[in-house]
Amino acid sequence: MDKKLAYLNVVLASCLWGIIGIFVSNLYELGLSSIQIVSIRVLSTALILILYVVFRNQKSLKINLSHSWYFVGTGIVSFSLFNWCLFNTIQMTSVSIATILLYTAPAFVTIISRVVFKELLTTKKFLSLLLTFIGCSLVIGIFQNSNTAISFNGLIMGLGSGFFYALYSIFGKIALVKYDSLTVTLYTFIFASIVVTPLSELWEIAHLFKHVEIWLNIIGIGFLSTVIAFTLYTKALNTIEASRASIIATIEPVVASIVGFIVFQEELNFWQYIGIIMVITAIILVRDSKIDV
């Protein structure tokens, strides 16, 4: 894949992740809990991908059982645990603190990639990480509230969400050595579904599934913001470094803020605009792969 197309894939994936708040908010209003929404996300994604590969690309179903640890890594260790940590952080602290701690992920990816993949920790990457971290902080408004106290457990859970979120890029890149992006995405959500679904007690809200509205939001969260998004992102990892992809993906909170402004009439202030500019600058900086210093 051409590098420009790979970068575009990451940006598109991030935009699709950024609009997930629309579907999540609607599902909350319908009476679902956090773990039930996560379960619906992974289960619907797994079912959509299984149907696709059965009818269009059956060879993507074939894996070597000895490689199952790849998908334990992407589906259980990464996706399931990052969601669990994230929701706990929100409960212990606030959405703002939880979000900014989640976006420590690029730093974890860059450090781990340096060890695992021998990727260079260049000046550009360091500056991009700094701009991204400050930019995300401004976008979510964390510096505007002086009363944002955080407990030690909240901090550990928040950093855990960033760490486990980062591991998707690491395990995903390892899995792509043996399998294509469709297979990696498929088994990520099969393994995640196996773990999350039994914990969600979805059967207790079975009566809600008779409404068309819930199915429209399931399509949104499962197909648009998960199937397409993760397929685009995983495919891009074939071409570009995991650290670069992770930094570019931090456009997600920017998109989420814009969605909040347009859909939920949430106001953007001066510092949030500055934060958006900083994140976009970081993406442009890390995208330039011709000269690394």
Given a contact cutoff of 8 angstroms between Cβ atoms, the answer to whether 90 and 98 are in contact is yes
CB count within 10 Å of CB 236 equals 27
Q: Report pLDDT for 95.
A: 60
Rounded to whole angstroms, the maximal C-alpha distance in the chain is 58
Q: Report pLDDT for 124.
A: 77
Q: Report pLDDT for 291.
A: 36
User: What are the phi and psi torsion angles at 292 (to 5°)?
Assistant: -115, 130
What's the rounded Cα separation, in Å, for the pair 251 and 256? Answer: 9
- DSSP for residue 238: T
- DSSP for residue 266: P
Chain-centroid distance, C-alpha 151: 24
Mean pLDDT score, 110-115: 81
Chain-centroid distance, C-alpha 135: 18
What's the rounded Cα separation, in Å, for the pair 266 and 229? Answer: 25
C-alpha distances in angstroms, 250 versus 69, 110, 146, 210, 238? Answer: 27, 13, 24, 36, 19
- DSSP for residue 221: I
**Mapped to the 3 state alphabet, what secondary structure does 71-120 carry?**
HHHHHHHHHHHHHHHHHHHHHHCCHHHHHHHHCCHHHHHHHHHHHHCCCC
Q: pTM for this structure? A: 0.74
Q: Report pLDDT for 214.
A: 92
What's the rounded Cα separation, in Å, for the pair 194 and 43? Answer: 9
Mean pLDDT score, 95-119: 76
Give the pLDDT confidence of 128-185 residue by residue, as tens digits: 778 877 877 776 666 665 454 567 788 888 888 889 988 988 898 889 888 888 898 8
Residue 73: pLDDT band (50, 70, 90) is: very high
Q: Where are the alpha helices (DSSP H) in the chain?
A: 3-18, 20-29, 34-56, 68-71, 81-92, 95-102, 105-116, 123-140, 152-175, 181-200, 212-219, 229-236, 242-248, 252-263, 270-287
